C-alpha cells in the first residue's frame, strides 16, 4: 500500500515596507505608486535554501491569484508550485511579471489584494520579493539595470527584516546578497554602465530600517 505524504502548507505574512528610493529619480515615473506593506507567502516543510540565486527564473515560484484579475495572463498554479496550490487555483504566468507591473498600475489594483506568493525554496522567495517591488513601482524601463537595483535592495532588506519568520541564518542572507550583486554587475556591464557596489553594502541595507 502506497504511503501518502500530506504537505502542510503554511501561510506566512511577510512585512514589506516601502524602501527609500535608492536609484536616480528618472528610473521611475511613479515610485511607490502603491505603498507596499505586506505579502502573504505560502510555504511548506520542504522549503529548501540550497539552490543558488542567478539570473535564471527560479523553480517552484508562482504568484497565486487570491482575487479575479482577468486582465493578467494566467496558468494553473499547480504546474509551478505543486501542492502549495489547490488544483483549481490560478497563478500569474511566469512570463507575465512585466504585464503585472504595467497592468496593476493601470488598474490601480493593490498587489496584495489580488496576489499571494507561493515559493518552495529560498531562490524562489528572493525573486518573489524582488518582483513584489516591481509591482509597487512604475517606470519608463529605459534603464532596467537601475530598476533592478531598487528591486534587489527591497528583496534583501525584506529578507533581512523577516529572517526570523523565514528561518534564515545571517550567513544565508549574506550569500544571497553576494549572488544578487553578481547578477547586478552583469546587468550594468550589458548596459555599458558602472555599478556603484556600495548600493549592495550589507551595512547600508541592514541600516535602512
Binding site for Zn ion (CB under 5 A): 148, 151
Smallest gap from Cβ 63 to Zn ion, in A, equals 13
Output 64 or 151, the one with its CB closest to Zn ion: 151
Residues 6+ apart with CB under 8 A from 57: 94, 127
Output 39 or 151, the one with its CB closest to Zn ion: 151
> Between the CA of residue 178 and those of 153, 171, 181, 183, 184, what are the distances in Å?
12, 11, 5, 9, 10
Output 77 or 151, the one with its CB closest to Zn ion: 151
Smallest gap from Cβ 147 to Zn ion, in A, equals 7
Smallest gap from Cβ 56 to Zn ion, in A, equals 13
Comparing C-alpha atoms, which of 56, 28, 31 is closest to residue 142? 28
How many CB atoms neighbour CB 154 within 10 A? 26
Smallest gap from Cβ 131 to Zn ion, in A, equals 6
Output 109 or 148, the one with its CB closest to Zn ion: 148
Across 174-207, b (16+ Cβ under 10 Å) vs e yields: eebbebbbeebeebbeeeeeebeeebbeeeebee
Smallest gap from Cβ 88 to Zn ion, in A, equals 29
Output 151 or 159, the one with its CB closest to Zn ion: 151
Amino acid at each position: 500500500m502506497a504511503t501518502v505524504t500530506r504537505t502542510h502548507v503554511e501561510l506566512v505574512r511577510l512585512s514589506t515596507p516601502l524602501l527609500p528610493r535608492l536609484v536616480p529619480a528618472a528610473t521611475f515615473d511613479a515610485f511607490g505608486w502603491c505603498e507596499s506593506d505586506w505579502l502573504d507567502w505560502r510555504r511548506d516543510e520542504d522549503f529548501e535554501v540550497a539552490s543558488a540565486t542567478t539570473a535564471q527564473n527560479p523553480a517552484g515560484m508562482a504568484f497565486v491569484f487570491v482575487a479575479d484579475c482577468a486582465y493578467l495572463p494566467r496558468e494553473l498554479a499547480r504546474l509551478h508550485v505543486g501542492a502549495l496550490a489547490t488544483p483549481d487555483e490560478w497563478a500569474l504566468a511566469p512570463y507575465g511579471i512585466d504585464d503585472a507591473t504595467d497592468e496593476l498600475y493601470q488598474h490601480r489594483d493593490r498587489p496584495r489584494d489580488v496576489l499571494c506568493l507561493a515559493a518552495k525554496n529560498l531562490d524562489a522567495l528572493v525573486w518573489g520579493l524582488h518582483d513584489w517591488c516591481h509591482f509597487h513601482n512604475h517606470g519608463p524601463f529605459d534603464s532596467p539595470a537601475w530598476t533592478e537595483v531598487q528591486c534587489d535592495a527591497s528583496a534583501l532588506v525584506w529578507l533581512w527584516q523577516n529572517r526570523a519568520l523565514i528561518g534564515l541564518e545571517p550567513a544565508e542572507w549574506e550569500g544571497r546578497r553576494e549572488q544578487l550583486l553578481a547578477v547586478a554587475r552583469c546587468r550594468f556591464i550589458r548596459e555599458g554602465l558602472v555599478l556603484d557596489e556600495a548600493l549592495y553594502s550589507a551595512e547600508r541595507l541592514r541600516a535602512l530600517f
